[in-house]
């Protein structure tokens, strides 16, 4: 379960890091305050996460499939 959560966090962080790392080259965002950029990244991240909400409901934890 920890590996799954770490993987999801990693996949969410990759696009956010890319945007924040390359925002200086975009002409309309070059002078935008960091707070505005952060809000947009958060909003877009929430939208992406919302698209996968249905998938989360389809996945059921079945402990009998994971022998200890």
Q: State the SS3 of 11-29.
A: HHHHHHHHHHHHHHHCCCC
Please report the sign of the dihedral spanned by the C-alpha atoms of residue 33, residue 37, residue 14, residue 6. positive
Q: Most distant CA pair in the chain: distance in Å?
A: 55
Q: Give the model's pLDDT for residue 14.
A: 73
When pLDDT is cut at 50, 70 and 90, the band that residue 58 belongs to is low
- The arithmetic mean of pLDDT across residues 23-48, rounded, is 72
CB atoms within 10 A of CB 23: 16
Average model confidence (pLDDT) for the chain?
70
């Amino acid at each position: 379960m920890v590996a799954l959560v770490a993987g999801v966090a990693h996949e969410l962080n990759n696009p956010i890091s890319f945007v924040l790392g390359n925002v200086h080259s975009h002409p309309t965002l070059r002078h935008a305050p960091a707070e505005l950029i952060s809000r947009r990244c958060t909003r877009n991240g929430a939208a992406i996460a919302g698209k996968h909400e249905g998938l989360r409901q389809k996945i059921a934890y079945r402990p009998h499939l994971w022998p200890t």
